[in-house]
């Protein structure tokens, strides 16, 4: 079981990192989370929290509005996200003759990259990456963004195991939105939610493997 700490809890002496603060030579927790020590570095991974966009993140976004030259998207964050025409479409588009809904319409689900976050906290997205695409069909679920690394696993091991056992397609957004499609998508979703619930447990991959085997036998 990994150690869970609370705000203000003394964590030791060392280098104060993410989720901590330092007073004199002592490091304390800023939040409720999982203690993580590597050498002299002390950090706390929050158990809960909102998604804070960073350049390069791969996220799942939902089109909510269309303007003359861009799309406005929900990215499960306090900040507004926009996809400009130049970052959304590679071909030339005559805006006097073309409706942008031809490319991405209301409620379309996209896997996009965070291209930039402005000083005013506007999140600029891009589809100009080989992994970026429209996600058609399937189901969306949300997990706490800070639990996403556990869903993915080391070098993608956890999510790849779920995909292989269930025969589903899974796309995980760093913003905590996950797209699942396939015959056993309900089982895959149950497994993902189980990972979120048990994210603080050691040996989680083995537990989820057994969980899936039991569910798929039924």
**Per-residue confidence band for 3, with pLDDT thresholds at 50, 70 and 90:** confident
Q: What are the tokens at 103?
A: 């490319």
CATH number at residue 24: 2.40.50.100
- 89 and 123 in a common domain: yes
Task: Verify that 143 and 129 share a domain, yes or no.
Answer: no
Question: Does 144 lie in the same domain as 125?
Answer: no
Q: Does 53 map to a domain? A: no
Whether 64 is covered by a domain: the verdict is yes
Burial 134-161 (b: 16+ CB within 10 A, else e): ebeebebbebbbbbbebbbbeeeebbeb
Q: What is the dihedral of CA 39, 41, 47, 49, to 10 degrees?
A: -150
Q: Are residues 123 and 148 in the same domain?
A: no
pTM of the model: 0.79
Number of domains within the chain: 3
Are 31 and 62 in the same domain? no
Strands 41-46, 15-16: pairing kind: parallel
Q: Report pLDDT for 146.
A: 87
Tokens of 79: 């900040």
* CATH of residue 177: 3.30.1370.10
pLDDT tens readout for residues 13-66? 999 988 899 998 999 999 888 888 888 999 887 777 778 899 999 999 999 999
DSSP assignment, residue 62?
Answer: E
CATH of the domain at 115: 2.40.50.140
Assess if residue 158 is contained within a domain.
yes
Q: What is the pLDDT of residue 2?
A: 66
* Residue-wise pLDDT tens digits, 168-193: 999 999 999 999 999 999 999 999 99
Verify that 68 and 113 share a domain, yes or no: yes
Cβ neighbours around 78 below 10 Å, total:
10
pLDDT digit string, tens, across residues 92-144: 988 888 889 999 999 999 999 999 999 888 999 999 999 999 999 999 999 99
Q: Is residue 145 located within the same domain as residue 189?
A: yes
Q: Is residue 95 part of a domain?
A: yes
Please list, in sequence order, all residues whose beta carbon lies within 8 angstroms of the beta carbon of residue 12, skipping any fewer than 6 positions away: 26, 27, 37, 42
């Amino acid at each position: 079981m990994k150690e869970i700490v609370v705000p203000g809890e003394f964590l030791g002496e060392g280098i104060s990192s993410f989720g901590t603060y330092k007073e004199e030579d002592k490091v304390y927790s800023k939040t409720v989370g999982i203690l993580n020590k590597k050498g002299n570095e002390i950090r706390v991974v929050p158990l809960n929290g909102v998604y804070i966009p960073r350049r390069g993140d791969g996220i799942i976004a939902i089109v909510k509005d269309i303007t003359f030259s861009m799309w406005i998207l929900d990215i499960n964050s306090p900040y507004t996200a926009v996809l400009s025409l130049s970052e959304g479409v590679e071909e030339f588009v005559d805006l006097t003759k073309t409706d942008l809904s031809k490319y991405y319409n209301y409620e379309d689900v996209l896997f996009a990259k965070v291209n930039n976050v402005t000083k005013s906290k506007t999140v600029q997205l891009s589809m100009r990456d080989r992994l970026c695409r429209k996600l058609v069909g399937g189901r969306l679920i949300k997990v706490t963004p800070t639990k996403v690394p556990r869903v993915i696993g080391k070098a993608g091991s956890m999510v790849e195991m779920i995909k292989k056992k269930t025969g589903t397609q899974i796309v995980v957004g760093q913003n905590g939105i996950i797209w699942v499609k396939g015959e056993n998508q309900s089982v895959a979703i149950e497994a993902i939610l189980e990972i979120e619930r048990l994210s603080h447990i050691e040996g989680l991959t083995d537990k989820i493997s057994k969980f899936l085997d039991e569910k798929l036998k039924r």
